[in-house]
Amino acid sequence: MFITFEGIEGCGKTTQVNKLKEYFESQGKDVLVTLEPGGSRLGKTLRKILLSMESQDLTKEAELFLYLADRAQHVEQVIRPALARGQIVISDRYADSTIVYQGYGRGLDPQTLHSFNEIATKDLWPDLTILLDLPVEIGLKRAVTRNIQKKLTKDEGRFEAESIKFHNRVREGYLTWAALNKNRFVIVDATGEIDEIFTQILNKVTSFEEKRVEGVSNQI
Residues between 86 and 145 that touch ligand TMP (CB under 6 A): 93, 97-98, 101-102
Three-class secondary structure of residue 173 per DSSP: helix
Please give the Cα distance from 95 to 74 (Å, whole number).
11
**Cα torsion for 147, 151, 152, 158, to the nearest 10°?**
70
Q: What is the 3-state secondary structure (H, E, C) of 91-141?
A: EECCHHHHHHHHHHHCCCCHHHHHHHHHHHHCCCCCCEEEEEECCHHHHHH
C-alpha Rg value of the chain to the nearest Å: 17
In the complex, what is the shortest distance from the CB of residue 205 to ligand TMP, in angstroms, rounded to a whole number?
20
The least CB distance from residue 68 to ligand TMP, in Å, is 8
Site string for ligand TMP, 45-84 (x = CB under 6 A): ------x---------------x-----------------
Report the site for ligand TMP in 164-193 (rule: CB under 6 A).
none
The number of residues that bind ligand TMP (CB under 6 A) is 11
Task: Sheet containing 31-35: give its strands across.
Answer: 31-35, 88-92, 2-7, 128-133, 185-189
Chain positions 23 to 42 lying near ligand TMP, rule: CB under 6 A, are 36-37
The minimum distance between CB 104 and ligand TMP, in angstroms, equals 11
Residue 86 or 139 with smaller CB distance to ligand TMP: 139
Give whichever of 125 and 159 is closer to ligand TMP, judged by the CB atom.
Answer: 159
Helix ranges (H only) for 27-59 are 41-51
The distance of closest approach from Cβ of residue 119 to ligand TMP in the complex, given in angstroms and rounded to an integer, is 14
Nearer to ligand TMP (CB atom), residue 159 or residue 208: 159
Pairwise CA distance, residues 2 & 90, whole Å: 6
CB of 51 to ligand TMP, least distance (A): 6
Instruction: Give me the least distance between CB of 36 and ligand TMP, in Å please.
Output: 4
In 3-state terms, what secondary structure has residue 57?
coil
Q: How many CA atoms lie within 13 A of 99 on its CB side?
A: 23
* Interacting residue ranges for ligand TMP, rule: CB under 6 A: 9, 36-37, 51, 67, 93, 97-98, 101-102, 159
